[in-house]
Amino acid sequence: MKPTPTEPRSQPGAPWLLLAATLALATCSYLLLNTGPPSPPGPTARPSSPDTPQARQPAGPAASTRTPHTDTSSPPPSPSTAAMLPPRGEGRAADQQIQRLLEEAWPADLPPAQEQQLRRDGAALLRADATGIGRDHFPTVFGNQPDTAVAPAFSRLRIQAAIAREDTRPGRAVVHLVWAGADRGGTYTDNRITDLYFRRTKGDGPWTPLPRP
């Protein structure tokens, strides 16, 4: 029978190919299994309070200059030793990975129960702002607005990932949310990023959301 183009055919040297593939895979596996979690970001990596000018500035040696490689004669670089992170438009399939990225990049610093509560409150606060649903649960944020009708600004809202961390200011916390939603015109966008801030006046008191600037 004539083999189809995709069928393997016996060739001299085929065992060497298989051996090479096996060795390469074994090497990759070793590298992968020995890749530790990412280094925690430095102090500047933590988003600070909203009224801090540096709040949105990236971490890292902002003023440092690193000499680039100029040798392009060697084989093209392979993405083998680094992750390919999900781009936009990946839908729910990327949410778990994004959640893991947030947790690894910004190590937990709140008691787990507090973080869970803040995540829930942050998600509910975002939903209240974006859709109008549940605003009565946050009188400190929405209570002072005139009793006007609320036309939902977003629909199909989905929280893709969320973490809660201590803010740089004592007694405050920030909930960092990655979310998706469709605006009133139907344009759907994922990987939207929102930081919401909470504070408490007593050490073990409840967290209260801060009005958004």
- 91-150 residues in contact with other proteins (CB under 8 A) are 91-94, 96-98, 100-102, 104-106, 126, 129-133, 145, 148-150
Torsion angle in degrees (nearest 10) through CA of 185, 186, 188, 193: 40
Residue 77 in contact with other proteins, rule: CB under 8 A = yes
Phi, psi of 212 (to 5 degrees): -80, 140
Pick one of 2, 15, 51, 63: the residue that binds other proteins (CB under 8 A): 63
Region near other proteins per CB under 8 A, out of 24-32, 108-116, 197-205:
24-32
DSSP state letters, 73-123: -SPPP-GGGS-----TT-GGGGHHHHHHHHHHHS---S-HHHHHHHHHHHH
Nearest 5°: the CA angle 105, 203, 56 is: 35
What is the nearest approach in angstroms of other proteins to the Cβ of residue 57? Answer: 4
Q: What is the 3-state secondary structure (H, E, C) of 130-175?
A: HHCCCHHHCHHHHCCCCCCCCCCCEEEEEEEEEEEEECCCCCEEEE
The nearer residue to other proteins, 7 or 204, going by C-beta atoms, is 7
Among residue numbers 143 through 202, which ones bind other proteins (CB under 8 A)?
145, 148-156, 158, 161, 176, 178, 182-194
What is the nearest approach in angstroms of other proteins to the Cβ of residue 1? Answer: 16
The nearer residue to other proteins, 177 or 207, going by C-beta atoms, is 177
The nearer residue to other proteins, 143 or 205, going by C-beta atoms, is 143
The nearer residue to other proteins, 81 or 116, going by C-beta atoms, is 81
Q: Rounded distance, CA 105 to CA 41, Å?
A: 6
Site for other proteins (CB under 8 A): how many residues? 102
What is the nearest approach in angstroms of other proteins to the Cβ of residue 100? Answer: 8
Residue 84 in contact with other proteins, rule: CB under 8 A = yes
Pick one of 36, 75, 112, 170: the residue that binds other proteins (CB under 8 A): 75
List C-alpha distances in Å: 184 to 72, 98, 160, 181.
48, 26, 20, 10
